[in-house]
Structure 1
Amino acid sequence: MIILSELHYHPPAALFATLMHADGLLLEAHEHYRKQTYRNRCLIRTAQGVQPLTVPVIDGNRAEKVSISAIEIDYRQNWIHRHWRTLQTAYGNSPYFEYYADYLHDIYVSKPALLFDLNQQFLRLLLKCFRLTLPVQLTTKYHAYYPAQPSADNTGLLSTQPSIADRRDWLTPKASVKTPEPDTPAASALVRPYPQVFGPGFEPGLSVLDLLFSQGPAAGSFFIV
């Protein structure tokens, strides 16, 4: 099965749990940019509780629709420094922060012009962290709907192409008010609780960085697949 998803900024760990048994990942490259989503934000846990980190973008508030692949990052704001300092403060004492820090920092300081490119670079790194070698492709045009099962060709036979599981906007900061589709897995059920830097209790739905910094190479063992 091919997982169809939008590109996120340090997505929740549930995405990678879903990819563990996928045949490939299809990234939506022709949608319109949407505000207040994981496309340009992530959630981490700090001493003050759960905190969003948001990448500022240019023209994200325009009335007209802008393609996700054309959204530019606003480097007039010193957001890289803020994000990196926040990650250092929150996770500097975690077991594996230093293990991944240089790789992440190199991407930040390369300053990709486009949000889409920044997210792709982080995604490629995160896939390597989980040793996921599945093929990653971009959509060639926008489709509002993808059939859940392969369709029949003109001979009446089912296509041999893998089916596509549409997971666009499955992961959202507003997940608590969104009713999941009947055949869609619940994100909260895909990651087992693990020791987090700040407690008490377990906070689900955080960026995958929270899991990686805590568990390192063993992070994948916390996926329920």
Structure 2
Amino acid sequence: MTAAVPARVLVAHQPAYLPWQGYFSRLLDVEELVLLDHVQFSERGWQHRNHIRNPAATDKRARLTVPVCRRFGQSINQVRLADEPWAARHWRTLEHTYARAPYWPTHRERLAALYATRWERLVDLDEALTRFLLDGLGLRVRLVRSSSLAPAGVRTAMLADLCRRTGSRALRVGVGALGYLDAEVLAACGVHVEVATYTHPRYAGGWPGWAPGLNALDLLLFEGPRAVDVLRAGARLETREPVR
């Protein structure tokens, strides 16, 4: 008897700057990530900022923010980077913070090249850093921009249309999405929901500054080939119906 082929899972997420570890924990068993670059940019979102470790801080974290030039209502793929030397500042901070991490020498050259590149649009920077981290983690995941798929609708309708366009029968989301997903729209499309959570396992014993919510670069530089095992240890999935 031929084994049943697992249903294709859609993971769709806004592009993020040096994404946090939970971002990648959703991608351990999928072949594709749809970057939602056609949706509205959020000044308070994670598209242009994230946390690195800082042992001297109260919460052991420091925030790196990429300055952008944007207009209200602008989509992420339209947002341009500010014309100021933010990349040099970020690189100096990263090098100061992680130069002694065990796997800094392994990844330094490629990461340095990314920060030496003159980026014009935020989405291009985010995608390049996400690709760098996927490669470092050993995750073979294609990156597809939603703007290239031109999905119809907003929120649930948009995600349902992405499922249709990608042939997906499962939609993997975080807990926060359950508050707005429309169960009837997804059910009509034959799509079920997988809820992904991440529990931040401790790692890099003996090194100061570990904290939950750090970006995935931190994990990669301290754990190297073991980083993906840390992601697996903290990842949880359950099938759940959206709130009606």
TM-score (norm 2): 0.74
Give the distance between the partners of 2:137 and 2:169, measured in 1 at CA. 23
SS of the residue corresponding to residue 185 of structure 1 reads strand
**Residue in structure 1 matched with residue 53 of structure 2 by the alignment:** 45
Give the distance between the partners of 1:179 and 1:162, measured in 2 at CA. 21
**Residue in structure 2 matched with residue 81 of structure 1 by the alignment:** 88
Tell me if the contact between 2:80 and 2:122 (Cα under 8 Å) persists in the aligned partners.
yes
Tell me if the contact between 2:51 and 2:214 (Cα under 8 Å) persists in the aligned partners.
yes
* 1:96 corresponds to 2:100: no
SS of the residue corresponding to residue 19 of structure 1 reads coil
The total of aligned residue pairs comes to 201
Tell me if the contact between 1:19 and 1:25 (Cα under 8 Å) persists in the aligned partners.
yes
**Residue in structure 2 matched with residue 154 of structure 1 by the alignment:** none
* 1:113 corresponds to 2:133: no
Percent identity between matched residues is: 25
SS of the residue corresponding to residue 220 of structure 1 reads helix
Which has the larger share of strand?
Answer: 2
Give the distance between the partners of 1:41 and 1:160, measured in 2 at CA. 29
Over aligned residue pairs, what C-alpha RMSD do you find? 2.6
* 1:194 corresponds to 2:200: no
**How far apart are 1:205 and its partner, in Å?**
1.1
SS of the residue corresponding to residue 43 of structure 2 reads coil
**Residue in structure 1 matched with residue 69 of structure 2 by the alignment:** 58
Tell me if the contact between 1:4 and 1:164 (Cα under 8 Å) persists in the aligned partners.
no
2:43 to 35, 45, 55: 35
Q: Give every structure 1 segment of 4 or more consecutive aligned residues whose post-TM-superposition deviation is greater than 3 Å.
A: 178-183
Tell me if the contact between 1:127 and 1:133 (Cα under 8 Å) persists in the aligned partners.
yes
TM-score (norm 1): 0.80
**How far apart are 1:147 and its partner, in Å?**
3.9
Give the distance between the partners of 1:210 and 1:181, measured in 2 at CA. 29
Amino acid at match of 1:218: R
Tell me if the contact between 2:12 and 2:36 (Cα under 8 Å) persists in the aligned partners.
yes
Which has the larger share of helix?
Answer: 2
**How far apart are 1:18 and its partner, in Å?**
1.1
SS of the residue corresponding to residue 45 of structure 2 reads coil
Pair 1:160–1:84, CA change in 2 (3 A): closer
Pair 1:20–1:91, CA change in 2 (3 A): same
Give the distance between the partners of 2:104 and 2:76, measured in 1 at CA. 30
